[in-house]
């Protein structure tokens, strides 16, 4: 059955079904007051037992375990006064059975969270559900009647993993599940619900375990101990496979492992096409630690150093010294490799409380990034001074986010000159020829690349925002996010124009959006003339592997072919086909 491949690789193993306890909402009323008393006591008992259970798990965790926090939140939610009041109220006033009351109260709470606009708070729905399920499991007794069914994953089933090579089958994986699981024995995950960004997907990816999420109700046919194949690369789950299927996938698994091994050996190989064109692969980073990690993947520097991390999670603006130290440590860690420092890209969905910015109706079209920097000149100068001073310790370049017109470039350059003058007067050394480039992420900038190219030293195409702004799609909006598609011919034409104009004006063009690390796009972008790709470090080996096995000639043919196509569906189908040969 088909799902979403959330973490690549092949796993063949025995299923452990973390079965939904199918608890029914009986819809029945309690006959008399004694029952009310009994159901209330049952609820109180279930809560106490559940809390005891979590306390017991907590006691087994080491003091600095990240899971402790999840457990604390769980304990607090289990004993939550609002939940308790609502449940007891339903039992006493509406004469509901305890389990009905719990299901209804949790469902109502989930509804509140589901409608939240904030990703963090919305994700707490899983914690609330987790607490609800835990209470339900301890409300024993048979439940007569039929009605609406809801699923409750049997969380502690996760602690039953004793056998090597277990494949976890579940409706979804709750945050607390993965803490009690012996993950070293898990070889694969398949879940009914979830997306590429759900908890199960993130854990699987981080641990390198193949996973398929969003498989739907079809997973119900799997029983514990069934032989199951999880193909995380192809997004497939095969139940009770035939011997020929097992052989086929065993071969695929070996090929994947070999491939991974090959990719690992590529870190020291230069990314050169078969006809000798040198391509540069860089990493997107946010810290000195990530700079170090990226070197292991063969990064040739950073095409995007995000500076937001330095400003977030605190109550005051970082001063020049603190910023200087941050940029200096990264510059020095890169050992001569280039680092493109993007100036503060705050606003929109990334807020800083000490900036005191009011909420906006359209944050992505609002006061953010370069717009703030030009408006709050002191803040901007402090950052520029710190970057300039650090430029003594490595090869730093400055990149301006969210440029929409040439005036912004001129204004920013004037402020940069002012910062340079200030440093010169104080006899502080810096790289006088530091490059100043811009992000191309607003359609107006992509269309007027010829104008902008005359006054900047380089372009970097930010495909995430460029795609969002070009297609008028909010990626966070479930109803329209399917329209978000970097292979849309409109987006591709803008990208081609930017690369072409950069070439004509002899300035360097790179790409630092998600598309740069998408192997489906590698040959297409190469063919358009892109020579610098910046991506999450772990994607570098796979992209490099494509580059070293193809020629520029082939890449050009592919891109010409794609640019003549009329839909993203046709384009992605064609690229998938091209990748196979």
Which residue numbers are catalytic? 199, 512
- Between 261 and 361, CB nearer to other proteins: 361
Shortest spacing between CB 51 and other proteins, in angstroms? 14
Q: Which is nearer to other proteins, 357 or 565 (CB)?
A: 357
Q: What is the DSSP string of 515-544?
A: GGG-TTTHHHHHHHT--EEEE-GGGHHHHH
Q: Is 439 helix (H, G, I), strand (E, B) or coil?
A: strand
Binding site for other proteins (CB under 8 A): 69, 72-73, 76-77, 80-83, 109, 112-113, 116-118, 120-121, 124, 127-128, 312-315, 351-354, 356-359
Q: Closest approach of Cβ 120 to other proteins, in Å? A: 7
Dihedral sign of CA atoms 90, 92, 95, 100 in order: positive
Contact (Cβ atoms closer than 8 angstroms) between residue 558 and residue 523: yes
Q: Which is nearer to other proteins, 118 or 417 (CB)?
A: 118
Minimum gap (Å) between residue 179 Cβ and other proteins: 15
Residues 6+ apart with CB under 8 A from 455: 406, 409, 410, 413
| Identity of the residue, 62 or 353, whose beta carbon is nearer to other proteins in the bound complex | 353
Cα–Cα distance measured from residue 60 to residue 181, given in angstroms and rounded to the nearest whole number? 12
SS3 of residue 438 by DSSP: strand
Q: Which is nearer to other proteins, 32 or 117 (CB)?
A: 117
CB atoms within 10 A of CB 493: 14
Cβ 66 to other proteins, closest distance in Å?
Answer: 11
Structure tokens at 159: 């602690």
CA atoms 163, 165, 168, 173: torsion sign: positive
Nearer to other proteins, 13 or 175 (CB): 175
CB 547 within 8 A of CB 272: yes
Q: Which is nearer to other proteins, 125 or 143 (CB)?
A: 125
CB of 131 to other proteins, least distance (A): 9
Residues 56, 13: Cα–Cα separation, whole Å: 30
* Cβ atoms of residues 458 and 403 within 8 Å: no
Report, in Å, the least distance between residue 79 CB and other proteins. 9
Task: Report in angstroms how near the CB of residue 314 gets to other proteins at its nearest.
Answer: 7
Q: At what angle do helices 67-78 and 125-138 cross, to 10 degrees?
A: 60
User: Strand, helix or coil at 20?
Assistant: strand
Interatomic CA distance for residues 251 and 243, integer angstroms: 12
């Amino acid at each position: 059955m088909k799902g979403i491949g959330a973490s690549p690789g092949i796993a063949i193993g025995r299923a452990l079904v973390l079965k939904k306890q199918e608890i029914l909402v009986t819809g029945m009323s309690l006959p008399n007051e004694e029952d009310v008393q009994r159901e209330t006591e049952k609820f109180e008992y279930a809560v106490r037992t559940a809390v005891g259970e979590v306390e017991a798990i907590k006691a087994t965790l080491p003091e600095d375990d990240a899971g402790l926090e999840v457990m604390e939140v769980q304990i607090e939610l289990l004993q939550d006064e609002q939940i308790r009041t609502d449940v007891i109220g339903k039992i006493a006033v509406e004469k509901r059975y305890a389990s009905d009351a719990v299901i209804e109260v949790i469902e109502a709470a989930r509804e509140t969270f589901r409608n939240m606009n904030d990703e963090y708070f919305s994700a707490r729905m899983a914690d609330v559900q987790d607490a609800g399920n835990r209470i339900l499991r301890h409300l024993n007794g048979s439940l007569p009647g039929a009605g609406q069914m809801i699923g409750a994953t049997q969380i502690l089933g996760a602690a039953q993993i004793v056998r090597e090579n277990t494949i976890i089958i579940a409706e979804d994986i709750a945050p607390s599940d993965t803490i009690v699981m012996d993950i070293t024995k898990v070889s694969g995950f398949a879940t009914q619900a979830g997306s590429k960004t759900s908890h199960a997907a993130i854990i699987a990816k981080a641990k390198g375990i193949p996973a398929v999420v969003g498989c739907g109700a079809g997973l119900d046919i799997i029983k514990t101990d069934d032989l199951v194949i999880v193909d995380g690369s192809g997004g497939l789950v095969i139940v009770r496979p035939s011997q020929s299927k097992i052989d086929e996938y065993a071969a695929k698994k070996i090929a994947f492992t070999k491939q991974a091994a090959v990719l690992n050996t590529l870190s020291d190989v230069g990314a050169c096409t078969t006809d000798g064109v040198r391509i540069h692969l860089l990493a997107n980073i946010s810290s000195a630690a990530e700079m170090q990690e990226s070197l292991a993947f063969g990064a040739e520097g950073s095409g995007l150093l995000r500076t937001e991390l330095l400003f977030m999670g605190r109550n005051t603006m970082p001063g020049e010294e603190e910023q200087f130290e941050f940029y200096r440590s990264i510059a020095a860690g890169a050992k001569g490799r280039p680092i493109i420092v993007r100036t503060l890209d705050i606003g929109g969905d990334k807020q800083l409380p000490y900036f005191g910015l009011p909420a906006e109706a359209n944050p992505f079209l609002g006061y953010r990034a370069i717009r703030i920097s030009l408006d709050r000149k002191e803040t901007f100068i402090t950052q520029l001074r710190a970057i300039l001073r650090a430029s003594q310790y490595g090869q730093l370049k400055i990149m301006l986010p969210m440029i929409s017109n040439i005036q912004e470039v001129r204004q920013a350059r004037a402020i940069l000159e002012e910062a340079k003058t200030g440093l010169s007067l104080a006899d502080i050394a810096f790289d006088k020829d530091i490059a100043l480039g811009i992000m191309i992420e607003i359609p107006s900038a992509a269309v007027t690349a010829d104008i902008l190219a005359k006054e900047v030293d380089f372009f970097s195409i930010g495909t995430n925002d460029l795609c969002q702004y070009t297609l008028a799609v909010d990626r966070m909006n479930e109803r329209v996010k399917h329209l978000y598609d970097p292979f849309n011919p409109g987006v591709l034409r803008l990208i081609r124009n930017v690369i072409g104009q950069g070439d004509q004006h002899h300035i360097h063009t790179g790409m630092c959006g998600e598309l740069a690390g998408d192997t489906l796009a590698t040959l297409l972008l190469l063919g358009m003339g892109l020579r610098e790709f910046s991506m999450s470090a772990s994607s570098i080996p796979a992209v490099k592997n494509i580059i070293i096995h193809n020629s520029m000639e082939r890449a050009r043919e592919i891109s010409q072919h794609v640019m003549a196509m009329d839909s993203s569906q046709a384009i992605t189908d064609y690229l998938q086909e091209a990748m196979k040969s």
